[in-house]
Amino acid sequence: MKIETIMSAEKVMGPRLTGKELVVLSACEAGLDDVQIGESVFGLKWAFILSGAKAVVLSCWSVPSKEDMELMSRFYSLMADGKPKAEALRLAKLELMKKKPNPFYWGVFILAGNPPDKTGPG
């Protein structure tokens, strides 16, 4: 039995995500702005930003689970080591690029929003 979960910008706008540093959507084509009749032109990523999330990482196309898991695992490890979100994603992509030079595997994820990756006071 196949179970599908449909997430729309309207559903995302319900919960308040204020103060959430990062939302990760590691699902096939979560980042595409495919505007359909009755849907917002902002797309899913902007629904999360407008709902209060400071940054969103999402995929632009479907990739094999192995490469998806490898990139995301490294991304989380780098953040746990103190790397800012944007830098962690960049480094994770560079590492996967060495193993899989085709951008199909490492170019899938984008970071949207304004991640507060400040160092020092302020």
Alpha-carbon span 13 to 46, nearest angstrom: 10
Question: What are the sequence ranges of the domains in the chain?
Answer: 17-113
Q: What is the pLDDT of residue 105?
A: 92
Q: What is the pLDDT of residues 58-116, one digit of tens each?
A: 888 888 889 999 999 999 999 999 999 999 999 999 999 999 999 999 998 889 887 55
Alpha-carbon span 69 to 82, nearest angstrom: 20
Q: What is the pLDDT of residue 113?
A: 82
19 backbone dihedrals φ, ψ, rounded to 5°: 90, -10
> Would the pTM count as exceeding 0.75?
no
Residue 19 region by backbone torsions, left for phi larger than 0, else alpha for psi between -120 and 50, else beta: left
